[in-house]
Structure 1
Amino acid sequence: QGSVETLTWTLNSCKSFTVRSFYRELVAGEGVSDFPWQIVWCSKAPVRAAFFYWEVAWEAILIAETLQRRGFRLASRCCMCKVDVESVNHLLIHCAVARE
């Protein structure tokens, strides 16, 4: 009795919990920690754009390719140009309609 217990977060130098230190520990060893996240989250880009970049890096954009991997049955053609398979690379780089 009379003693005060203190919790200390050991995953950063300031010894206090941060989402960043928790996230780094969570993804350690999964290959994504090598991604230059500071470019995404510390940029002057709007948060909406940073979140989109984050989704691209995690391959989490809801496109035909991703949805098919999750078990959905749907056409794999690009919904914009109807020519190639709808993938992140196609939509962001190769799709003629998206580039217009």
Structure 2
Amino acid sequence: MHSALGGVSCFIFGPYHFMLLPCLAAKLIRLPQFDMDDQCFWSGSSSGAFSTFSSWNEIRRRNPKVPWFPLVWSKALQLRQFVFGWRLMHKKIPTDDIISHKGIPLVSKCNLCGLDVESFNHIFISCSFSVALWKQFMDCFGILWLDPSDLHQLSLWSIRKRRILSVKDPWSVGFVVVADNIWRERNERRHDGPSRSVSHVFEKIKCDVQDGKFNLQGMIK
């Protein structure tokens, strides 16, 4: 019997069977015997019940949360705004400078101010039209415009301000809503649509924020 077992182990494990068999034997445990039916428990959830959500959480690759997470992944935003916010923070918006970097030459001009070439930072941060919208939004919360160097700096500053505000959710969604309306106005003008004033676009921003179903009484003027 010993020789037969040795022959099988040699066939399965090769010349290392003398090392593997003791390790396998050490893994053998005695299972307790109870007078009850066996039950299956899924270790991927606290309840023990299997679900596709819990199985996905078990196998998916987890990356650390980015600092701008609360500004983009808010339940008050629409699905379209989720996607836009993600693209915005990853610089996946097709501004003229980003398109040019892909090897496509463009004659560029900002469609909002008409004073400078269009770049990612210009259209969302330094364009006079965009700055006017950011300032009006922040005036609603009694906060002065930061004049940031880029969108990443603005997002970090917005997160810090969020901690001290009593109305955190409207402030958070405003980051994406303002940028989204800036980009939509740019697209309207770029494709021969109507040109709206700063006050007109800001009214649309307020409507978008209020669509989040917050209690904004006395907060948005």
Aligned residues: 81
- Mind listing any 5+ residue stretches in structure 2 that lack a counterpart? 1-43, 46-53, 134-197, 199-221
Q: Are residues 1:17 and 2:56 paired?
A: yes
Aligned 8 A contact 2:98 2:120 in 1: no
CA separation of 1:36/1:93 partners in 2, compared to 1, >3 Å: closer, same or farther?
A: closer
Give the TM-score of the pair, scaled to structure 1: 0.58
64, 78, 90: which one aligns with 1:46: 78
| Corresponding position of 1:7 | none
Give the TM-score of the pair, scaled to structure 2: 0.30
| CA deviation map 1:6-62 (0-9, x unaligned) | xxxxxxx556125xx74x55xx5xxx8534435422431112222111111110101
CA separation of 1:44/1:90 partners in 2, compared to 1, >3 Å: closer, same or farther?
A: same
CA separation of 1:95/1:36 partners in 2, compared to 1, >3 Å: closer, same or farther?
A: closer
4+ residue runs over 6 A deviation: none
- Mind listing any 5+ residue stretches in structure 1 that lack a counterpart? 1-12
90, 106, 111: which one aligns with 1:79: 111
Aligned 8 A contact 1:40 1:53 in 2: yes
Matches of 2:89 and 2:118, distance apart in 1: 17
More helix by share: 2
| Corresponding position of 2:94 | 62
Matches of 1:33 and 1:79, distance apart in 2: 35
Higher relative contact order, chain-length normalized (CA < 8 Å, sep 6+): 2
CA separation of 1:39/1:96 partners in 2, compared to 1, >3 Å: closer, same or farther?
A: closer
Q: 2:91 is matched by which residue type in structure 1?
A: E
Q: 2:108 is matched by which residue type in structure 1?
A: S
Larger Rg: 2
